Amino acid sequence: MPKEKSRCHPALRLWATAWKSCLDERAYAALSFRWRWLGGVLILILIVAAGRLLLRGPKPDKSLRDLQARGELKVCMDASYPPFEWIPEGAPADHLIGLDVDLAGAIAARLGVTETLVNVGWDGLYDSLLVGKCDAVISALPYDPTRTEEAAFSISYLNAGPVLLVRAGETAVAGPKDLAGRTLAVTWGSAGDVEASALQRKVHDLAVRRLPEPVEVLDALRAGEVDAALTDHLIALQAVYASDGLAVVGEPLTDDLYVIAVRRHEDSLLAAINGALVALRDDGTLDALKESWFSRK
């Protein structure tokens, strides 16, 4: 009668030989069961541990809590761009004024902290933010999709895209479609110039008068030489708030959004800044700041 082949695992047989004993089928089955049972228990422990990590989620964001505990919102800005931020002639180096300066103060007040301004050259704004020299950048900063891997951006507090300007009281031009058969003034090479070329392909019989400087565009409109002008929103705001007899028609034709930057993943701080911007917009503070600073000569 042929000898039945043992089902003992080779490693187990070696182990048994070392101890001068042989495992019969019943002992092997019992041992094999124990190992399978221990393996199942270990797998269960790993599953439970992984589940707890998933339920716990990512590390809580403490950016807003830490900032409020410190009692200070540090803001980087390039103080060379009036009316947003600049240092008046003869003033100390730390005496910054402008729309963004006041906006930083208003946001800090909403967060229950004080603001500290950090004057940084334009090219160093993002680097200063990332290394922790400041908590936010408020500096007439356009939204930049190429920076979203390192920074997060707030909602816009100003759209600097090109807008239509008409003489105050003019009702015939309420939007681009009303420019048919009319003359539109723009500055050579500006965003308004690019948009005017696009409008000529859409609006019948639209004539475009291109002038070298923005002031010439505004003068031509005031003098009645053209029916409307298409200018940078910032130039338009300065003209309107200066009681220059001109009025903005509608919203910017294209977007150039000014935003606030914070470090990526600082979600609680970003949410607080967005909440402050919404509140400042709704209570009229943002409009008041624009009128205050854009009306200055």
- Reported as a single tens digit per residue, the pLDDT across 63-81 is 999 999 999 999 999 999 9
| pLDDT interval class at 36 (50, 70, 90) | low
Q: What distance in Å separates the CA atoms of residue 165 and residue 126, rounded to the nearest whole number?
A: 34
DSSP string, 98-162: SHHHHHHHHHHHHHTSEEEEEE--GGGHHHHHHTTS-SEEEEEEE--GGGTTTEEE---SEE-SE
The set of residues, in sequence order, having a beta carbon less than 8 Å from that of 275 and lying 6+ positions away, is: 110
Is residue 175 located within the same domain as residue 40? Answer: no
pTM of the model: 0.78
Is residue 115 located within the same domain as residue 234? Answer: no
Q: What distance in Å separates the CA atoms of residue 77 and residue 121, rounded to the nearest whole number?
A: 8
Average pLDDT over residues 249-271: 97
Is residue 90 located within the same domain as residue 228? Answer: no
Per-residue tokens: 188: 């050579």
Is residue 152 located within the same domain as residue 282? Answer: yes
In degrees, rounded to 5, the angle at the alpha carbon of residue 294 between the alpha carbons of residues 297 and 249 is 125
Burial bucket for residue 177 (CB in 10 Å: 0-12, 13-18, 19+): exposed
Is residue 168 located within the same domain as residue 239? Answer: yes
* 198 or 49, which is more confident: 198
CATH code, 111: 3.40.190.10
- Reported as a single tens digit per residue, the pLDDT across 107-161 is 999 999 999 999 999 999 999 999 999 999 999 999 999 999 999 999 999 999 9
H-only helix segments in 144-266: 191-200, 214-222, 233-241
| pLDDT interval class at 12 (50, 70, 90) | very low
User: Domain of 271?
Assistant: 63-158+257-294
Average pLDDT, the chain: 88
First-last CA distance in the chain:
114
- Reported as a single tens digit per residue, the pLDDT across 171-194 is 999 999 999 999 999 999 999 999
Answer whether 270's CB lies under 8 Å from 262's CB.
yes
Q: Is residue 261, in this structure, part of any structural domain at all?
A: yes
The set of residues, in sequence order, having a beta carbon less than 8 Å from that of 289 and lying 6+ positions away, is: 99, 102, 103, 106
Q: Describe the chain by its helix, strand, coil percentages, rounded to 5.
A: 45, 20, 35
- 81, β-bridge pairs: 85
Q: Is residue 201, in this structure, part of any structural domain at all?
A: yes
DSSP 96: -
* Total structural domains within the chain: 3
Q: What distance in Å separates the CA atoms of residue 159 and residue 249, rounded to the nearest whole number?
A: 14
